[in-house]
């Protein structure tokens, strides 16, 4: 299956890491008290380790030099208490951040999901589902881990290094300067590493999204994969992407290993030089043994804060790219309702009216002809109009414009004289109900799936009525738990016709004023279709309906028929009128009739 490139891959590689991470502040702000307290506790705990060398200096130059066993035991007690205090403070820090950061992650995930619900269909058409899934799972986990550990310890270790360096210089200026020699090369290396690692980390996270897409598509399309024996080719496609991700992860590992080796080696060389010089000075009597022990103990206490720089920077860069990817979704422009106080514009008549409506997909190349071009059509109030056209003529696109799943590029659409562009979406979609040719069901019960099309007050009577209209009450009654039976992901435990009938029931359960049906009976056998049509005729008497039709039997539900050809309305009339006046319509109907058999040919000609 061809992979759709993630829109994020075109994101600029250079950006301010601090500015990106500041986007997390609104989520951290409600828990900032515990978060900052945890940081302060960690700083105190880390700085306690710098007190240990001072105790060692006193111990060596005092009780050890004076051969005082009592003083040695006292010094050992001090060291033990310092160790216990340090461990307790670090445990307190972890307790302080655990619950707040879980709530931060939960709020971020909730905001991401809410934004995905509000983003237009055009956004979802452009983005691979795996890219969105990885942002809601992997990226949020990376951000939570960053807030819990690297962010705190970048500050903690920075303060510890500064305090330790000041202590080293205070203990002995010349040895302190020797230890500080690697600072400049380490800073330069870290800056170079940060830029390189950020690019590779972003590439890896995008590739995780691509891999997630392949897995999701393979699972959802497992019947196609198995039916055509394509499991080997799918496995090969997965293997290629997995190898690509593996190569990128190895590049990350090589960069991290290189910077970690250099950050470790340079300070070690400086410590070795200080040890030699300090030992010579102790031998010459220019430095006390306690001072040298304290100096080296302080330097060794700084090893972890210095060695961890590469690791913390790597995790920070991954958090930066994860935050970027998360914010790409939050920054996408969502569906907007008219400004408060805007009054819908009045129209000349009721029903559903298209006036000069045109549509072009937002990402269509320049010069591409519009899908719809100047559509003028009026569905009178209480009328059912069938929309007929060849494949690719724009029928489904036109129906999607009514509930504003897509926004018209030009012209306007009126419902009972109100311009839908000036209506709140919630109100618009409470007036318009839709059923698509490809029925989508959710991992919920049959009843819950159907009642999604009604208000909160709808109950069992409305459910029973809708199932009866869709001729779904029979098979639903035979399910193990009736309408309470879980249908499973995508409703794949049901047949195509059963799913389509439930989708139709969902469309009619709320008694909508306007009903838009996109070939809702295509998966039904002729006998079930006839029963559904008989029940549906009663529903259509109570609403204004636009029905996409491919078969004469569906056309016969309508009062009038509109022929859509190359994005324009070519003819409007009754079924018999168009058979006589439009060669294209007659050709479309003759092909459908031939496909359905002689029994329906007679119906089509009447």
Sorted by sequence, the CB contacts under 8 Å of residue 458 that are 6+ apart come out as 451, 509, 510
310 token code pair: 């590469």
Q: What is the pLDDT of residues 464-518, one digit of tens each?
A: 888 888 888 888 888 888 888 888 766 667 887 888 888 888 888 888 889 998 8
Domain of 536, CATH number, reads: 3.40.50.300
pLDDT tens per residue, range 130-169: 888 888 888 898 898 888 888 888 888 888 888 888 888 8
Structure tokens at 146: 């960053």
- Pairwise pLDDT comparison (353 vs 280), residue with the higher score: 353
Q: Does 404 share its domain with 503?
A: yes
Same domain, 389 and 305: no
Q: What is the pLDDT of residue 377?
A: 93
Residue 129 within a domain: yes
> Between the CA of residue 23 and those of 9, 138, 150, 328, 414, what are the distances in Å?
20, 18, 17, 11, 41
Residue 345 inside a domain? The answer is no
319 & 406 share domain: no
CB neighbours (10 Å) of residue 3? 15
Domain range spanning residue 535?
352-601
3-state class (DSSP) for residue 386: strand
Residue 337 lies in a domain: no
DSSP string, 24-51: GHHHHGGGHHHHHHHHHHHHHHHHHTTH
Question: Residue 183 belongs to a domain with what CATH number?
Answer: 1.20.1560.10
Regarding whether 356 and 299 lie in a shared domain, the answer is: no
Claim to verify: residue 303 and residue 379 sit in the same structural domain: no
CB contact set of 382 (below 8 Å; sequence gap of 6+): 351, 541, 543, 544
Going through 43-137 in order, the beta strands assigned E by DSSP cover none
Residue count of the chain = 606
- 518 Rama class: left (phi>0) / alpha (psi -120 to 50) / beta: beta
Query: Is the pLDDT reported for residue 258 higher than 70?
Result: yes
Instruction: Identify the band that residue 564 occupies on the pLDDT scale cut at 50, 70 and 90.
Output: very high
pLDDT in tens, 34-78: 888 888 888 888 888 888 787 777 877 777 776 778 877 887 888
pLDDT score recorded for residue 597:
45
Question: How many C-beta neighbours within 10 Å does residue 542 have?
Answer: 13
Count: domains in the chain:
2
> Does residue 48 sit within a domain?
yes
Q: What is the pLDDT of residue 358?
A: 93
- Flag whether pLDDT at 442 surpasses 50: yes
Domain-embedded: residue 69:
yes
Average pLDDT over residues 317-343: 78
Of 223-232, 443-452, 556-565, 592-601, minimum mean pLDDT range: 592-601
- For residue 121, tell me if it sits in a domain: yes
* d(C-alpha 139, C-alpha 246), whole Å: 18
- The crossing angle, in degrees rounded to 10, of helices 51-59 and 69-118 is 170
Do 299 and 376 share a domain, yes or no? no
Residue 278 dihedral angles phi and psi, to the nearest 5°: -65, -40
pLDDT bracket for residue 349 (50, 70, 90): low
Contacts of 300 (CB under 8 A, 6+ apart): 271
Q: What confidence tens digit (pLDDT) does each residue in 87-121 have?
A: 888 888 888 877 788 888 889 999 999 888 888 88
Q: Are residues 501 and 595 in the same domain?
A: yes
Last residue of a domain, one of 275, 302, 331: 331
- Dihedral pair phi/psi, residue 61, rounded to 5°: -75, -15
Distance of CA 480 to the CA centre of its chain: 35
Domain check: are 165 and 292 in the same one?
yes
- Burial annotation 37-65 (CB, 10 A radius, 16+ → b, else e): ebbebbbbbbbbbbbbbbbbbbbbbebbe
Q: Could you tell me if 297 and 400 lie in one domain?
A: no
For residue 565, pLDDT over 80 is answered with yes
Report the DSSP beta bridge partners of residue 569. Answer: 564
| pLDDT tens track for 290-319 | 888 888 888 888 878 887 777 788 888 888
- Render 350-384 in DSSP notation, one character per residue: SSEEEEEEEE--TTPPTTPPPSEEEEEEEE-TT-E
pTM: 0.71
> Are the CB atoms for 63 and 70 separated by under 8 Å?
yes
Residues 175 and 261 in one domain: yes
| Whether residue 105 is found in the same domain as residue 137 | yes
Q: Could you give the 3-state DSSP secondary structure of residue 287?
A: coil
| Residues 320 and 360 placed together within one structural domain of the fold | no
* Residue where one domain finishes, among candidates 277, 302, 331: 331
606: in domain: no
Q: Is residue 429 part of a domain?
A: yes
């Amino acid at each position: 299956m061809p992979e759709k490139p993630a829109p994020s891959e075109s994101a600029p590689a250079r950006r301010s890491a601090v500015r990106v991470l500041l986007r997390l502040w609104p989520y951290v702000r409600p828990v900032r008290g515990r978060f900052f307290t945890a940081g302060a506790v960690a700083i105190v705990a880390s700085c306690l380790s710098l007190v240990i060398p001072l105790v060692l200096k006193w111990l060596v130059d005092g009780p050890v030099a004076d051969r005082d066993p009592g003083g040695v035991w006292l010094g050992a007690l001090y060291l033990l208490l310092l160790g216990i205090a340090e461990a307790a403070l670090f445990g307190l820090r972890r307790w302080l951040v655990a619950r707040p950061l879980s709530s931060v992650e939960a709020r971020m995930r909730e905001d991401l999901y809410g934004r995905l619900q509000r983003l237009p269909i055009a956004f979802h058409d452009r983005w691979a589902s795996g890219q969105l899934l990885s942002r809601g799972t992997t990226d949020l986990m990376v951000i939570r881990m960053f807030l819990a550990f690297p962010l705190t310890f970048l500050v903690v270790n920075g303060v510890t290094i500064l305090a330790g360096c000041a202590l080293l210089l205070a203990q002995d200026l010349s040895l302190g300067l020797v230890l500080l020699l690697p600072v400049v090369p380490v800073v330069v290396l870290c800056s170079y590493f940060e830029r390189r690692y950020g690019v590779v980390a972003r590439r890896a996270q995008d590739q995780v999204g691509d891999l997630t897409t392949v897995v999701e598509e393979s699972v959802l399309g497992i019947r196609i994969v198995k039916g055509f024996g394509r499991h080997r080719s799918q496995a090969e496609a997965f293997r290629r992407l997995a190898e690509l991700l593996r190569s990128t992860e190895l590049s990350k590992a090589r960069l991290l290993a290189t910077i970690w080796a250099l950050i470790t080696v340079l300070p070690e060389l400086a410590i070795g030089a200080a040890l030699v010089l300090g030992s010579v000075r102790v031998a010459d009597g220019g430095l006390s043994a306690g001072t040298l022990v304290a100096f080296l103990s302080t330097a060794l206490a700084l090893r972890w804060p210095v060695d961890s720089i590469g690791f913390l920077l790597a995790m920070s860069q991954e958090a930066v790219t994860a935050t970027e990817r998360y914010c790409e979704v939050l920054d996408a422009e969502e569906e907007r309702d008219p400004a408060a106080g805007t009054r819908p514009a009045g129209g000349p008549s009721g029903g559903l009216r298209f006036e000069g409506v045109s549509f072009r997909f937002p990402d269509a190349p320049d010069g591409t002809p519009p899908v719809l071009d100047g559509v003028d059509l009026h569905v009178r109030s209480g009328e059912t109009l069938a929309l007929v056209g060849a494949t690719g003529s724009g029928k489904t696109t036109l129906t999607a414009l009514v509930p504003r799943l897509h926004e018209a590029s030009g012209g306007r659409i009126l419902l009972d004289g109100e311009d839908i562009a000036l209506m709140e979406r919630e109100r618009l979609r409470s007036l318009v109900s839709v059923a698509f040719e490809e029925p989508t069901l959710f991992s919920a019960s049959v009843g819950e799936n159907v009642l999604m099309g009604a208000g909160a007050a709808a109950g069992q009577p409305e459910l029973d009525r809708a199932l009866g209209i869709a001729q779904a009450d029979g098979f639903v009654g035979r399910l193990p738990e009736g309408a309470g039976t879980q249908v499973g992901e995508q409703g794949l435990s049901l047949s195509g016709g059963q799913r389509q009938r439930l989708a139709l029931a969902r469309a009619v359960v709320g008694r909508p004023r306007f009903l838009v049906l996109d070939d809702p009976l295509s998966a039904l056998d002729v006998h079930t279709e006839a029963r559904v049509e008989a029940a549906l005729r009663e529903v259509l008497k109570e609403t204004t309906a636009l029905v996409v039709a491919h078969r004469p039997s569906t056309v016969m539900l309508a009062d009038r028929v509109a022929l859509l050809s190359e994005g324009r309305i070519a003819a409007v009339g009754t079924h018999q009128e168009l058979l006589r006046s439009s060669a294209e319509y007659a050709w479309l109907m003759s092909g459908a009739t031939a496909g359905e058999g002689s029994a329906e040919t007679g119906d089509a000609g009447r």
